[in-house]
Structure 1
Amino acid sequence: MSNDQADTYNKRIELKYLLDECQSQQVKLWAREHLETDAYCDPQLGDSYDIHTLYLDSSELDLYYRTGVIGKTKHRIRRYGCDPGLWIETKRKKKFVVKKNRTMVIDHELHPRVTASDPKLALQNESSWCGDWFLDRIANRQLQPSVQIYYRRFARTAVIGGESMRLTIDSDLQAMASSDWRVREHDSELMSAIDNVQILELKFHNHMPYLFKELLREFPLSMTSFSKYNAAVEATRTVAFPNVSDARKSTKTVPLTRLAI
């Protein structure tokens, strides 16, 4: 079976919901009762961990406006907690189905490559490197740092019948504009709060697990197309993006039809 065929039969699905504080606490209690602690959680934070993500965009903010080729795929550099490694990744989502490509790299290997005066020339001069695919996309799309986003992620997981499932809740969202290729440590004094919301995501393959069906029966939640990146740009727009125009945003909306469960 080809990779394309395999992807057809093994779809990674992510559903997103907005929660208020009360709903968040209720869902966390449910998750602790029904799911296991995620292996990536920080022992000092219990069943949570911190995420720091640098988003890349064009000078015309095509990702924000969801225009052209750039607007279809997120390019980002991510650090989990205080880990020394970084994840370079792309993520594309269409009708709840997610396609992600990612590679772990070391900061001191990534930084000189992305800050080279001519990234394409740097690719030609350097020996083969695990992140070359990402550098190539940056160069071809002329991407640059846009904003860095911080949040704390609550995470629980389970494997039932050989199928993995994962529940996450992101809270304390903060953002700052960035032209620096480094993923900085969290500093709340330099960051702006992103709305007063928490984001629940249900992640699974192909078909919704029965436990998630039970969750949605107990807590009737509405799906959302909320974008952390767009919210971050808007939270920092007065200083960093003064020319952001609501009128230029794509009028195309994400259909929030009820997923068959």
Structure 2
Amino acid sequence: MADKLQAQRYEHKYLITEDVALSVRDFVRSFLVIDEYGATQPNLSYPVHSLYLDSDDLRLYQSTINGDKNRFKLRLRFYENRPAAPIYFEIKKRTNNTISKQRGGVKREFVREILQGAFPAPHHIVSHDPRQLVAVQNFSKYILELGAKPKAHVAYLREAWISPHDNSVRVTMDRDVRCSPEPEARFVTDMIRPASVFEGKIVLELKFTNRFPDWFKQLVRVFGLAQCGAAKYVDGVTELGAAAVTYAFALPEKPVVPVNGKSSAVAPINGSGSPPVTAQAPNAAAAQDT
């Protein structure tokens, strides 16, 4: 399945309540369709997990705090625990008001060696698309330049609406946004003592590749929306406290909370280094752009 990546786009973000989110859902039905990954899921949403990398002095975090016009983030995105499920290396750049993304899927068995400094090769990559190899190689260069390491695990439930005609317009609503320190790159969906981000509010994002659609303007006006800078990694680390992700530590054997909010016990990595298998997201979600 082709990756539905909006390589360059604009995005406006808003924090809304659940009541408003349900009304927004009814509004966007007239223009967009629910994406295939959420269509069969509870509340039309599927889980998304991102492991963010940063330098030990949190340079990427600080670039957002400082309001730098040109900045980027490094994240490893995954959707489930299956050993065969790939990990997606993503570089998300902001240049003034424009967002650009590079993304490449890596076979899970090669992720650790790339994080440890191995230069990505074609056999590491899931797709034969050369752009994905270039994306992962660029990611690897940033790792070396920054000394970037795993810092934080961000998870949420995504409801995504897409245009039935092209990839120029997307609307997403992200619920139950959580963040926990993650220095080990475990790539499991369970989270240890996650902090709730945005005080339980839902992150609404209006994404478009050309001009701001007229019906987007109508949506903003009808619901009285106020644009904000909701950045999941930055707001998550701020909620945790920067010290929580700055220093390496051993993860305690404490209760964990998956993104669906149900408690479970910590599932340790087994002797082979492969993560345990727990609840799975739809396989097709791995191709979804966010």
TM-score > 0.5, shorter chain as reference? yes
Does 1:148 find its partner at 2:153?
yes
Distance 1:165 1:82, change over 3 A: farther
User: What SS class does the counterpart of residue 226 from structure 1 fall into?
Assistant: coil
Amino acid aligned to 1:171: R
Q: Identify the residue that residue 201 of structure 1 maps to in structure 2.
A: 205
User: What SS class does the counterpart of residue 233 from structure 1 fall into?
Assistant: helix
Match of 1:45 among 38, 42, 51: 42
Distance 1:141 1:242, change over 3 A: closer
For structure 1, the 5+ residue unaligned runs are 1-6, 244-261
Cα deviation 1:6-64 (Å, max 9, x = unaligned)? x9xx9511111111222222112222343201133262335221100001111001122
Q: Identify the residue that residue 80 of structure 1 maps to in structure 2.
A: 79
Distance, in Å, in 2 between the alignment partners of 1:53 and 1:221 is 27
Q: Identify the residue that residue 185 of structure 1 maps to in structure 2.
A: 189
Distance 1:113 1:192, change over 3 A: same
Distance 1:165 1:81, change over 3 A: farther
Amino acid aligned to 1:135: S
Distance, in Å, in 2 between the alignment partners of 1:223 and 1:68 is 16
Report sequence identity in percent: 28
Distance 1:36 1:82, change over 3 A: farther
Q: Identify the residue that residue 258 of structure 1 maps to in structure 2.
A: none
Distance 1:146 1:101, change over 3 A: same
User: Larger % of strand: which?
Assistant: 1
Does 1:123 find its partner at 2:127?
no
| 8 Å CA contact retained: 1:78, 1:183 | no
Cα deviation 1:205-257 (Å, max 9, x = unaligned)? 120123322212321211101211111112222861589xxxxxxxxxxxxxx
Q: How far apart are 1:80 and its partner, in Å?
A: 2.7
| 8 Å CA contact retained: 1:49, 1:81 | no
Q: How far apart are 1:132 and its partner, in Å?
A: 2.7
| Residues 3-42 of structure 1 mapped to structure 2, 5 A cutoff | 12-41=9-38
Distance, in Å, in 2 between the alignment partners of 1:38 and 1:15 is 20
Distance, in Å, in 2 between the alignment partners of 1:80 and 1:165 is 23
- Equivalent pairs counted in the alignment come to 226
Does 1:164 find its partner at 2:168?
yes
> What RMSD, in angstroms, separates the aligned Cα atoms of the two structures?
2.9
Does 1:137 find its partner at 2:142?
yes
| TM-score, normalised by the number of residues in structure 2 | 0.69
User: What SS class does the counterpart of residue 43 from structure 1 fall into?
Assistant: coil
Distance, in Å, in 1 between the alignment partners of 2:8 and 2:243 is 40
User: What SS class does the counterpart of residue 30 from structure 1 fall into?
Assistant: helix
